[in-house]
Amino acid sequence: MPYPKYRPLDRKKLKTVSIKDRRSLVHLADFPRPCLPDADFRQFADSLPPYLAARDLRELVDLMAQARQKGRPIIWGMGAHAVKLGLGPLIIDLMQRGWISAIATNGAMMIHDFELALAGHTSEDVAGSLLQGNYGNTEETGLFLNLALKEGREHGMGAGEAVGYYLIQAKLPHLEHSVLFNAYRLNIPVTIHPAIGTDFIHYHPMFSGEVTGALAERDFQLLASIVSELDGGGVFLNIGSAVILPEVFLKAVSYCSAQGIALENFHTAVFDFNRHYRPLENVCRRPTARGGKGFYFVGPHEIMVPLLAAMILHRNP
Residue 246's pLDDT is: 98
CB 159 within 8 A of CB 110: yes
pLDDT tens per residue across span 133-168: 888 889 999 999 999 999 999 999 999 999 999 999
Phi/psi of residue 102, nearest 5 degrees:
-160, 155
SS (H, E, C) the chain: CCCCCCCCCCHHHCCCCCCCCCCCCCCHHHCCCCCCCCCCHHHHHHCCCCCHHHHHHHHHHHHHHHHHHHCCCEEEEECCHHHHCCCHHHHHHHHHCCCCCEEEECHHHHHHHHHHHHHCCCCCCHHHHHHHCCCCCCHHHHHHHHHHHHHHHHCCCCHHHHHHHHHHHHCCCCHHHCHHHHHHHCCCCEEECCCCCCCHHHHCCCCCHHHHHHHHHHHHHHHHHHHCCCCCCCEEEEECCCCHHHHHHHHHHHHHHHCCCCCCCCEEEEEECCCCHHHHHHHHHCCCCCCCEEEEEECCHHHHHHHHHHHHHCCCC
Contacts of 182 (CB under 8 A, 6+ apart): 92, 95, 96, 176
Residue 244's pLDDT is: 97
Long-range contacts, 302-308 (Cβ 8 Å, 24+): 302/85, 302/86, 302/87, 304/271, 305/82, 305/87, 305/90, 305/239, 305/271, 306/87, 306/90, 307/57, 308/57, 308/60, 308/61, 308/271
Residue 172's pLDDT is: 94
- Its sign, for the CA torsion 155, 213, 188, 97, is positive
Phi/psi of residue 295, nearest 5 degrees:
-120, 150
Predicted structure pTM score? 0.94
Residue 3's pLDDT is: 75
- Listed as ranges, residues in the chain with pLDDT below 70 are 1-2, 316-317
Q: How crowded is residue 103: how many other Cβ atoms within 10 Å of its Cβ? A: 24
Distance of CA 59 to the CA centre of its chain: 17
Residue 133's pLDDT is: 86
**All domains in the chain, ordered by first residue:** 76-123+137-313 (3.40.910.10)
Residue 96's pLDDT is: 98
CB 270 within 8 A of CB 236: no
Instruction: Please compute, for residue 134, the number of CA atoms within 13 A of its CA located in the half-sphere on the CB side.
Output: 7
Q: How crowded is residue 271: how many other Cβ atoms within 10 Å of its Cβ? A: 25
**Encoded amino acid at 307, one letter:** L
